Amino acid sequence: MNGDDLSKILDFMFVVDRAKTIERAGYIHDQTRHETDGEHMWHAALWAMVLHKTTKADWDLCRVLCMLLIHDLVEIYAGDTYAYDEGAKASQAERENKAAAKLFSSLPEDLRHWITELWTEFTEEQTPEALYANAIDRLQGFAQNCISGGRSWKENKITKETTFPRTSLPRSLDNYMAAIVEKLYEIADSKKLWHEQDK
């Protein structure tokens, strides 16, 4: 590795540290602050690792983990898009594609190609690994709302029915993940975490 490549890698690693400060809509467990992108990506990767042995399909776990650890880095420039904000989602692809080009372009060519390929694979949701990574991404976000007392759901007027499209992938992809989602729905129901239950 030449000195120029080393500098590019260091510059990239300094920039992506900002993911630790990009706030998501959800909260951490004690509700004292919002969860950050860095925390979300780490937690999603941990979910994937823990659930890997329970799923029936033979996922390439290393590839899944790599996707999960980089999938929201683009939000350093594009900002977080709330899963239930249809207005913001309309411009999400354009914003994130521009952000990816800006963020990854500074890397050495081999790394730029590899990370861009992983990020594109995740966003296109076509391979088994990309589907699994996306299912885990959605599962983590859903679980985080249960962990944090449904505060984000209540603040954003999210009903149980509103969440069904977001949980359809993990529910349909794998029986074990489906069972976890159903258990989380039971927790949310019993603790009255939905918007309409907070009256």
Q: What b/e readout covers 71-107, taking b as 16+ CB neighbours within 10 angstroms?
A: bbbbbbbbbbbbbbeeeeeeebeebbeebbeebbeeb
- Check if the beta carbon of residue 69 is closer than 8 Å to that of residue 119: no
pLDDT tens per residue, the chain (199 residues)?
678 999 999 999 999 999 999 999 999 999 999 999 999 999 999 999 999 988 777 889 999 999 999 999 999 999 999 989 888 888 999 999 999 999 999 999 999 999 999 999 999 999 999 999 999 999 999 999 999 999 999 999 999 999 999 999 999 999 999 999 999 999 999 999 999 754 5
- Check if the beta carbon of residue 141 is closer than 8 Å to that of residue 26: yes
Q: What is the CATH number of the domain that holds 15?
A: 1.10.3210.10
DSSP-based three-state secondary structure for 104: helix
Residue 40 corresponds to which amino acid?
H
- Check if the beta carbon of residue 176 is closer than 8 Å to that of residue 184: no
Q: Which of 73, 84, 92 lies closest to 152 in space, CA to CA?
A: 84
Domain count, the chain: 1
Domain that holds residue 38: 3-197
Task: Give the strand pairing for 23-27 and 34-36.
Answer: antiparallel
Q: What does pTM read for this prediction?
A: 0.94
